[in-house]
């Protein structure tokens, strides 16, 4: 450990309350404590959940720091940190990704239930008040402390920052979603919502052996882009009558409907439609309805009669982070992941970045400090 931080500060974009403009503040840096890693941020992409938090749709302490899809370069290692979760050695200068959350030590959820991502007291980067020490714990800034009980992975050199940054949220989440969906060779998968999660989901479904992926989205631009990420057929649920939509899906998913339906659009009303499109014995996975109050009316008799499996995914298991990195490395020539990050902004322009991401002018806005 070297004294690298004495008297130094780092800039962070802080917002006072929901929808208030970000202001750049300086906070002191300190040496990383045992188990911590101090990282100089290379890129942080704006996730839909950052926008939900910023707009006040879900509770987030203020004045707050946002940003959890982050990659960075190791500035200093705290005592006891020598290698990443795969056992690869870590050293200052290494470019890394890490889990979007950290857990408060050993607990029942981790050790008995194998659900560390839902441990009581689990906290996320970019979800804490700016006043919380060590201040630098979000992506919209120059530095971030990776706290103990996080999972770190060193990034291969040939992976671009654009390919690497969404791995620890968007990609890992869809690895978890497609894992619980249990997608098998030759199956048909229907994806409701062709934003970033939907596109990764389609690509991963194909990599897991899906025969056909159908994508539903009301935005023409998203439907056009989807073909490059493994979606074979796109449909606009707003312009096709429900019975006709169901007919078209059945024609592709012969004889009885889709094996798997994945919700990543965040609109609870689509759940009933998704259940209709499933075959007997199919699986429905919810991953987009992340805000409380997503009330919906469904015919529970359909769940019973069609022998359906209904699964929810929130956060992901640490193993999914390893799989996410390996998936992107193995498939970066097959799918143009680099192009998904289509807007880059310096830290001073974080307000423009949030505005463009919020109005969907860009698919994934990146803050490059
Ligand atoms: Zn996210």
Residues 56, 345, 195, 220, CA torsion sign: positive
- Report the pLDDT value the prediction gives residue 59, as an integer from 0 to 100: 82
Distance, CA of 108 to CA of 160 (rounded, Å): 38
What are the backbone angles phi and psi of residue 354, rounded to the nearest 5°? -65, -40
- Report the pLDDT value the prediction gives residue 3, as an integer from 0 to 100: 54
First to last CA, the chain: 25
Helix and strand numbers (H, E) in the chain are: 11, 17
**362 C-alpha to ligand 1 centroid (Å):** 16
Strand partners, 144: 39
**Pairing of the two strands 212-216 and 188-192:** parallel
**240 C-alpha to ligand 1 centroid (Å):** 31
- Report the pLDDT value the prediction gives residue 58, as an integer from 0 to 100: 81
- Report the pLDDT value the prediction gives residue 222, as an integer from 0 to 100: 94
Please name the residue ranges forming H helices in the chain. 48-54, 108-111, 161-164, 170-181, 196-207, 220-226, 242-252, 270-277, 300-305, 318-331, 350-358
Per the CB < 8 A criterion, the answer to whether 32 and 8 are in contact is no
**11 C-alpha to ligand 1 centroid (Å):** 22
> Coil, strand or helix: which one is 295?
coil
**223 C-alpha to ligand 1 centroid (Å):** 22
Report every protein residue that has its C-beta within 5 angstroms of ion ligand 1: 47, 49, 169
- Report the pLDDT value the prediction gives residue 57, as an integer from 0 to 100: 87
Per-residue pLDDT tens digits for 47-105: 999 999 999 988 889 999 999 999 999 999 999 999 999 999 999 999 999 999 999 98
Which residue ranges of the chain lie beneath pLDDT 70? 1-3
Distance, CA of 178 to CA of 171 (rounded, Å): 11
**126 C-alpha to ligand 1 centroid (Å):** 10
Global pTM? 0.96
Distance, CA of 121 to CA of 144 (rounded, Å): 20
Instruction: Extract the tokens encoding 353.
Output: 């970045």
**314 C-alpha to ligand 1 centroid (Å):** 10
**49 C-alpha to ligand 1 centroid (Å):** 5
Counted residue by residue, the chain has a size of 369
């Amino acid at each position: 450990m070297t004294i690298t931080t004495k008297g130094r500060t780092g800039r962070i974009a802080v917002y006072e309350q929901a929808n208030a403009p970000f202001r750049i503040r300086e906070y002191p840096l300190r040496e990383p404590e045992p188990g911590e890693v101090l990282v100089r941020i290379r890129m942080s992409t704006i996730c839909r959940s950052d926008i939900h938090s910023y707009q006040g749709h879900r509770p987030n302490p203020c004045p707050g720091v946002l940003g959890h899809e982050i990659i960075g370069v190791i500035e200093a290692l705290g005592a006891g940190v020598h290698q990443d979760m795969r056992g690869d050695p870590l050293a200052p200068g290494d470019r890394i990704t890490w889990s979007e959350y950290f857990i408060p030590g050993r607990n029942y959820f981790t050790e008995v239930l194998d659900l560390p991502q839902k441990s009581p007291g689990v906290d996320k980067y970019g979800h804490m008040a700016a006043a919380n020490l060590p201040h630098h714990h979000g992506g919209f800034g120059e530095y971030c402390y990776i706290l103990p009980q996080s999972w770190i992975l060193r990034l291969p050199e040939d992976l671009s920052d654009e390919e690497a940054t969404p791995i620890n949220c968007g990609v890992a989440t869809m690895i978890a979603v497609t894992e619980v969906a249990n997608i098998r060779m030759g199956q048909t998968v229907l994806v409701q919502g062709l934003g970033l999660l939907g596109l990764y989901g389609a690509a991963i479904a194909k990599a897991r052996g899906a025969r056909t992926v159908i994508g539903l989205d009301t935005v023409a631009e998203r439907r056009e882009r989807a073909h490059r990420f493994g979606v074979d057929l796109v449909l606009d649920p707003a312009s096709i009558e429900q019975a006709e939509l169901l007919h078209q899906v059945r024609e592709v998913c012969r004889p009885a409907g889709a094996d798997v339906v994945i919700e990543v659009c965040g609109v609870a009303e689509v759940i009933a439609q998704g259940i209709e499109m499933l075959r007997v014995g199919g699986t429905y996975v919810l991953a987009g309805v992340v805000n409380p109050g997503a009330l919906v009316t469904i015919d529970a008799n359909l769940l019973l009669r069609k022998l359906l499996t209904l699964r929810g995914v929130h956060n992901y298991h640490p193993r999914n982070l390893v799989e996410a990195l390996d998936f992107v490395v193995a498939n970066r020539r097959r799918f143009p992941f680099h192009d998904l990050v289509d807007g880059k902004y310096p830290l001073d322009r974080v307000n423009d970045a949030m505005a463009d991401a919020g109005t969907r002018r860009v698919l994934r806005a990146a803050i490059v400090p």
